[in-house]
Amino acid sequence: MVAHPGDPGHSRSARRLNEPRPALVACEDGVPAAVDRVRVTVVREEWRVDDRWWTEEPVERRYFEALLETGRNVVVFRDEASGKWFRQSA
């Protein structure tokens, strides 16, 4: 018998950094009023991301950068396809 000093090898998957995490967002007129039950003091910025419209998985998001009453700055977005809210560092 011939021995095999080799081994099948390592295989690992790279992970995405900064994946969106589901967030609990209460809205008033489509604008976040509270994020994870903490009131929003002011919405500092708002922008849209429409991308990959040429693929089968288009990205349609409406981002908000908001200042919470605790003093924290958060970025949340509404996925226009599913209507769900997510938190993400932009």
Partner 1 sequence: MIACLSIPGFSLRAPLLRRPELEGKPVALAPVPGTRPLLGSCTRAAHEAGVRPGMLLSEALATCPRLELVEQDPAGAEEAWEAVLRRLEEAGFAVEPAEPGCVYFETRGVERLAGGLEQALRRALDAVGEEWGARVGAASRRFAALAAATVAPAGRALVIDDGEAHLFLEPLPLDLLPLSPERREELSELGVKRLGELARLPRSAVADRLGADGAEAWQLARGEGGAGVEPRRPPAEITETLSFPEPVANELTLARALAALLERLLARPERAGRAPRQLALSAKLVGGGSWRRSLTLREPTAEPDRLRLALASKLAELPAPTAELRLELGELTESVGTQAELVHPRGSRLRERLRVGLRQVRAAVGSADAVCTVVEVAPWSRIPETRAILVPRDD
Residues that bind partner 1 (CB under 8 A): 1-20, 49, 51-52, 59, 88-90
Q: Which is nearer to partner 1, 2 or 42 (CB)?
A: 2
C-beta of 36: minimal distance to partner 1 in Å? 19
C-beta of 29: minimal distance to partner 1 in Å? 25
Q: Which is nearer to partner 1, 27 or 49 (CB)?
A: 49
Q: Which is nearer to partner 1, 8 or 22 (CB)?
A: 8
Sheet holding 25-28, edge to edge: 21-22, 85-87, 73-79, 59-68, 38-51, 31-35, 25-28
Pairwise CA distance, residues 29 & 2, whole Å: 73
Q: Look-up: residue for tokens 């409406």? A: 62
C-beta of 18: minimal distance to partner 1 in Å? 5
